[in-house]
Amino acid sequence: MAETLYERPSVAEVVTAKRGRGGRLHWTDIFTYVYLTLGVLLMFGPVVWLVLSSFKTPAGLIEFPPTLLPLGQISVDVEGYDKPLPLFRATLEDGSVRDLAQVRRIGIVSQMVDPADPETTIKVPIGQREPVREFRLAWENYKDPLERFNFMRYLMNSVIVTTAATLVTLLINSMAAYGLSIYEFRGRGAIMLFVIGTLMIPITVILVPVYLVVTKLGMVNTLWAVILPGAATPTGVFLLRQYMLTIPKDLIEAARMDKASEWAIYWKVVLPLAMPAIAVLAIFSIMWRWNEFLWPLIVLNRSEVYTLQVGLNAFQGELDVQWHYILAMTVVTLIPVVLVFAFLQKFITTGIASSGMK
Amino acid sequence: MQKLVRGLLPVSLVAVSLATSATAQTELRMMWYNDGIEGEVMQGILDRFEEANPDISVTLDVVPYKSVLESLPVQLASGQGPDIARVTDLGGLSQYYLDLTPYISDPSYWQENFGPFLKWLDPQGEAISGFMTQLTVTGPYVNKTLFEQAEVEMPGEGATWDDWATAVVEVADKLEIPIPMAWDRSGHRVAGPAISMGAQMFDAEGNPALVDDGLKAMAQRLYDWHQDGTMSKELWGSVSGNTYLGANEDFANAQVVMYMSGSWQIPQFADKIGDAFDWWAVPAPCGPAACTGMPGGAALVAIKDTEHPEEVGKLMDFLTQEENLAEFYGKTLFIPGHLGLAKGGVEFATDDPRAKHALETFAGAVPTISPIAFDLQGYVNNRIMFNALISRLGEAIVGELTLDEAYERMTDDVAKQLAEKGRQ
Amino acid sequence: MADPATLTMSERLTALVALPARMVFQVLEYPLMLIQRLVGIRGMPWVFLLPNLAFFGIFVVIPLFINFAFSLTGGTQLFLADRVYTGTEQYAYLFDCGNYLDPTTCREDRFWKGIFNTSVFIFFQVSFLVLFSLITALILNQKIRARGFFRAVYFFPVLLSPVVVALIWKWILLRDGVLNAFLVWLGFDKILFFVSPEWAMFWAIFVSIWAHMGFYTLILLAGLQAIAPDLYEAAEMDGTSRERVFWRITLPLLWPNMLVVIVLALIKGVQIFDEVFVLTGGGPGTATQFIVQYIYNTGFTQQVQNFGLAAAASVVLGVVLFVLTMIQLAVTRRRDNG
């Protein structure tokens, strides 16, 4: 549906009209398609690579050059051995190549048997054999860490935090934006200055003071500690206010004539008109809260209040970087983002394009 | 404020108000981080404890290690910490530890079996605050298979760092291995070899004196090795400050001939490398003064602010029972931090000969550790020294500072931080 | 209201959310009417501002004051009352330099390295970010096939968390990563990207552009769509070349949006932290250690958590940001008037 929004006669149509009349391609036309193709590769490629890699075994991950698809070594059951043995393609001394199963490796020599003939042991230098592999997804990268902790709980917490924080943000930001855009009053300039001033303070630099405040309010280890501090986003106020400024004043005057209260004007007249900007803020708020990491790490240290981002990182130890888990868990945190994006993509892009950022 | 909050947000309250639960059961919180499977092993022991003590429940809060290092100190300072925590900054946090002496059944058992480590937790007094979940010893691993393939003889007992450097470069040259030698990017790792070279770490009055000729001798070698390719700049030359980086992945991938790390890598290597090649722990190489690694480890400590010291004492008693600790160390492949068990030997749950050999090597190295290394490990502010060492040496290696400037900065960093800490 | 059967997905979603929201607003209507009667219409803006200002006050303004107070104290205590008053000592320490243009002559060399690195980063990052956003917006503004899809392609990294962005790229850029595999395949040697200061800075800039470009592209796109088509028609009649149309019509009319983009990018650039921290760790040496990372390290990752010095550095950063804010304000005001 949203696509139709673009179908109004656009600038580009006029500019590129030549093409329709059979003129030859301008250099910018070729450039356009080259740029777009490269763009898709560059923007999607890394994420696709991440997903593919997350299904590789630890051994597969440290291979160079990396294989495109996740592969796993084939194991075969050999008579006389309890466990399945790994299969290799070995080059023998006489130059012949055979698929052999490895019994054990001693130093630089590996003892192998032919699965068809388990009686005779063949000794092969380890440089002369290569694992035989097949396409296999290493689901254990996902299963192991997810089984280790209460995934549903963390997911719940994240959903609660994201939803509650977004609702609070939308309500108080839209109220503030309404106050700052509809009324002319003394102090308005000062407050705008203040809002924009706080727009630029990265929370990282005031972590400790905010922690102190949260401690004094008794909110440590409750979800409130992650919901409330970031609720009054200056970005949100700024964005909504810029948009509300474009709403015709006559509408508001007309409503006042009809004896509507200010609150009614706010939610019955202005809010519906500001929907595109509110949608944008909602989406950003969801993303911010969903992705928040540093702050929850400091205020939440009890597992029942962990958010997904904290929980999924809990397996990172002192001495070990386990890429297979890191990649898999990164994919897990990506899934909701992708879903939101897939469903709301048109909403998001048209929303931002048509909202107050102009 | 709380009221205002409730008034503002009647939505979704139900699930949020988890903070307080009013049951008769006492709940203890244990903050924990994982390098391997130790969390699962601990959970198993905790389950047994809960069965035996139905009035106490223990929750294991597994956090990222980063949290233990960076958030826990702030939480403790504000009185918001857990009841029990697994920490590695043993002395630095000691002001927050609880003295368990009145709450445990047999303090003499603790003194007997944890004696030397209790001092790491409380350098001043006689307090009993916790026990070592893991004793670590730093030392190198080599890829023995590569030595065999290159037909280079491995330096034996008493070999110096220089001998090893020569040997690993020869192996790497013959087999085209990209990284002859790798060290963890950690001041703790450098300290042992520096002491071997004659570094004293403290002056006559016992005050920290990081930079001396011994340390310079080791630092110079590390610098040279990075310049001539014996070591790759990937570990020490990338990242800044005191960020830890390990070469375990590269070693496991046979990209490294010799890897200076420590005993904690054993379970991981057993799991990841298996029998793909012979990873072999070797005794700490020598310098003119000693052949020493650094001791270290993680401890489970009781926190002063707990509201249930009795129960904490009970739990700690349970956890330190010989059979429980034996199970814990045995399954996790950790070097026991319990003298009785260390003497009697722990049944390690592995049949990998490499892992067994490595455990023996590291456990056997404990008596050879230099007293200076023990003093340094027991020194409350040792992390200040380690951080200054690694961050400035790293900057010298990438060429931002000369070595002499780096020494000067190290001394200044330590002095500045000690002064800041001394301002109370 | 439209016939329910013809409602689209997003309309249905909106309706679902709207119902409880409507009830909440309805319930609040009566108390707020009372308030309006009490304070009069002149007081109403303050009523609307109150909740937001209260949150600001508690979670931003109070911490800012505490932060300032921290900067005048020393020691390792967390609570202000326990800390030692040191006056401007922390500031004096930060500014203790032999020569301000050479960080190595400063006592706190890493602070100045941070400022220097951040400046370099901002200069390149903002220039190329604006350039590529502009090119992308111009291209997406044309009548091309699957425009919605391409728009989405460029936008989606905006939604990823900085940590995820950094991990994705780190995984690609490692020694045995896929980019080096590609280089080897082309016949080049492997490059250790995180060992070379120039490469590390390049990738820090590249990755942050990759992650944020989509957002700025959309702002510029909105500006492009607002340009009246008749201007182009007229140019077409005169047979003006496309290049000329761009320089004479598009760029001047797009300038207000360009300014917004430049200023926003500038502010975000000063705040850069998570992405680069996870990607390069600030290295090699201190080559990509930026000012916010310096503050974080000083306050958190050292054994002696030096809140005082970290606070002093963040106050200095705050002053810099304030100046940038003033510039932005001047710019927006001129734009609003013009």
Question: Could you give the ipTM of this predicted complex?
Answer: 0.82
Share of chain B above pLDDT 70, in %: 94
Residue C82 lies in a domain: no
Same domain, C182 and C292: yes
pLDDT attached to residue B316: 94
Same domain, C123 and C64: no
Cross-chain Cβ contact A320/B149 below 8 Å: no
- In A, which residues are within 8 Å of C274 by CB distance? 293-294
- pLDDT tier for residue B306 given thresholds of 50, 70 and 90: very high
What 3-state DSSP class applies to B11?
coil
Number of domains in chain C: 2
For residue C1, pLDDT beyond 60: no
pLDDT tens for each residue of A199-225: 777 777 888 899 999 988 989 889 999
More confident residue, A349 or A14: A349
A35-49, B202-216, C319-333: the lowest-pLDDT one:
C319-333
Chains with ≥3 CB–CB distances under 8 Å to A: B, C
Beta-carbon contacts of A132 under 8 Å, excluding residues fewer than 6 positions away, are A73, A74, A87, A88, A89, A99
For residue C235, pLDDT beyond 80: yes
Whether residue C51 contacts residue A172, with contact meaning beta carbons closer than 8 Å, is answered with: yes
Q: Where are the beta strands (DSSP E) in chain C?
A: 73-74, 84-85
Q: What is the mean pLDDT of residues C312-317?
A: 91
Same domain, C158 and C295: yes
More confident residue, B29 or A22: B29
Testing the interface with B: which of A301, A306, A308, A325 to mutate, by most B Cβ within 10 A? Answer: A301
Domain boundary among C48, C70, C92: C70
For residue C2, pLDDT beyond 50: no
Please, how many CA atoms are within 13 Å of residue C187, restricted to the half-sphere of its CB? 0
- In A, which residues are within 8 Å of B144 by CB distance? 107
Q: What single string gives the DSSP state of each residue in B12-60?
A: THHHH--S----SSEEEEEEE--SSSHHHHHHHHHHHHHHH-TTEEEEE
Residue C298 lies in a domain: yes
- In B, which residues are within 8 Å of A105 by CB distance? 275-276
User: Between the ranges A75-84, B196-205, C24-33, C36-45, where is the mean pLDDT highest?
Assistant: B196-205
pLDDT attached to residue C132: 94
pLDDT attached to residue A14: 39
For residue A308, pLDDT beyond 80: yes
Same domain, C115 and C180: yes
Same domain, C314 and C193: yes
Share of chain B above pLDDT 90, in %: 55
- C-alpha distances (whole Å) from B229 to each of B119, B178, B245, B293, B390 are 41, 9, 18, 24, 19
How wide is the angle at C-alpha B180 spanned by C-alphas C197 and A318, nearest 5°? 65
Same domain, C306 and C177: yes
User: Smallest CA–CA separation between B242 and chain C, in Å?
Assistant: 8
- pLDDT tier for residue B319 given thresholds of 50, 70 and 90: very high
Residue C83 lies in a domain: no
- In A, which residues are within 8 Å of B31 by CB distance? 301
pLDDT attached to residue A1: 32
pLDDT tens for each residue of B357-403: 999 899 888 888 999 999 999 888 898 999 999 999 999 999 899 99
User: Smallest CA–CA separation between A140 and chain C, in Å?
Assistant: 20
pLDDT attached to residue A349: 61
Same domain, C141 and C238: yes
For residue C245, pLDDT beyond 50: yes
pLDDT tens for each residue of B139-162: 999 999 999 889 999 998 889 999
pLDDT attached to residue B85: 95
> Domain range holding C8?
4-70
pLDDT tens for each residue of B50-98: 999 999 999 999 888 888 888 899 899 888 889 999 999 898 898 899 9
pLDDT attached to residue A204: 78
What 3-state DSSP class applies to B203?
coil
Identify the closest residue of chain C to B393 by CA–CA distance: C285
Find residues 159-198 of chain A whose CB sits inside 8 Å of chain B: 160, 163-164, 167-168
pLDDT attached to residue A345: 66
Share of chain A above pLDDT 70, in %: 86
Same domain, C215 and C320: yes
- pLDDT tier for residue A111 given thresholds of 50, 70 and 90: confident
- Please give the structure tokens belonging to residue A352: 């931002």
Whether residue A41 contacts residue C150, with contact meaning beta carbons closer than 8 Å, is answered with: no
pLDDT attached to residue A9: 40
Identify the closest residue of chain A to B9 by CA–CA distance: A168
Secondary structure of chain A as H, E, C letters:
CHHHHHHCCCHHHHHCHHHHCCCCCCHHHHHHHHHHHHHHHHHHHHHHHHHHHHCCCHHHHCCCCCCCCCEEECEECCCCCCCCEEEEEEECCCCCEEEEEEEEEECCEEEEEECCEEEEEEEEEHHHEEECEEECCCCHHHHHHHHHCCHHHHHHHHHHHHHHHHHHHHHHHHHHHHHHHHCCCCCHHHHHHHHHHHHCCCHHHHHHHHHHHHHHCCCCCCCHHHHCCCCCCHHHHHHHHHHHCCCCHHHHHHHHHCCCCHHHHHHHHHHHHCHHHHHHHHHHHHHHHHHCCHHHHHHCCCHHHCCHHHHHHCCCCCCCCCHHHHHHHHHHHHHHHHHHHHHHHHHHHHHHHHCCCC
Same domain, C118 and C247: yes
Percentages of chain B per state (helix, strand, coil), in multiples of 5:
50, 15, 35
A90-99, C24-33, C124-133: the lowest-pLDDT one:
A90-99
- CATH code of the domain in which C223 resides: 1.10.3720.10
pLDDT tens for each residue of A249-300: 888 889 888 888 889 999 888 988 888 788 878 888 888 888 888 888 888 8
Cross-chain Cβ contact B394/C175 below 8 Å: no
Same domain, C61 and C149: no
A18-27, C45-54, C129-138: the lowest-pLDDT one:
A18-27
Same domain, C277 and C156: yes
Nearest CA-CA partner of C319 in C51, C67, C6, C100: C67
Pick from A213, A232, A358: which is nearest to C63 by CB? A213
- In B, which residues are within 8 Å of C66 by CB distance? none
Residue C75 lies in a domain: no
pLDDT attached to residue C277: 86
Q: What is the mean pLDDT of residues C257-273?
A: 83
Residue C317 lies in a domain: yes
Walk me through the domains of chain B, giving residue ranges and CATH numbers.
Answer: 2-135+296-344 (3.40.190.10), 137-294+353-422 (3.40.190.10)
Domain boundary among C44, C70, C96: C70
Kindly state whether B282 is in contact with chain C, defined as any CB-CB distance less than 8 angstroms. no
Q: What single string gives the DSSP state of each residue in B300-366?
A: EEEBTT-S-HHHHHHHHHHHHSHHHHHHHHHHHTPBPS-HHHHHH----S---HHHHHHHHHHHHHG
Residue C101 lies in a domain: no
User: Smallest CA–CA separation between A202 and chain C, in Å?
Assistant: 6
- pLDDT tier for residue B7 given thresholds of 50, 70 and 90: very low
pLDDT attached to residue B289: 92
Same domain, C47 and C121: no
Cross-chain Cβ contact B8/A168 below 8 Å: yes
Identify the closest residue of chain B to C294 by CA–CA distance: B241
Q: From CA B369, how far away is CA B372, in angstroms rounded?
A: 8
Residue C88 lies in a domain: no
- In B, which residues are within 8 Å of C302 by CB distance? 242, 384, 387, 417
pLDDT, mean over chain A? 80
User: Smallest CA–CA separation between C320 and chain A, in Å?
Assistant: 10
- pLDDT tier for residue A4 given thresholds of 50, 70 and 90: very low
Kindly state whether A24 is in contact with chain B, defined as any CB-CB distance less than 8 angstroms. no
Residue C80 lies in a domain: no
Q: What is the mean pLDDT of residues C224-233?
A: 83
Pick from B5, B19, B33: which is nearest to A317 by CB? B33
Kindly state whether C318 is in contact with chain B, defined as any CB-CB distance less than 8 angstroms. no
Contacts of C48-51 with CB under 8 Å at 24 or more apart are C48/A175, C48/A176, C48/A178, C48/A179, C48/A262, C48/A266, C49/A175, C49/A176, C49/A179, C49/A180, C49/A191, C51/A171, C51/A172, C51/A175, C51/A176, C51/A232, C51/B8
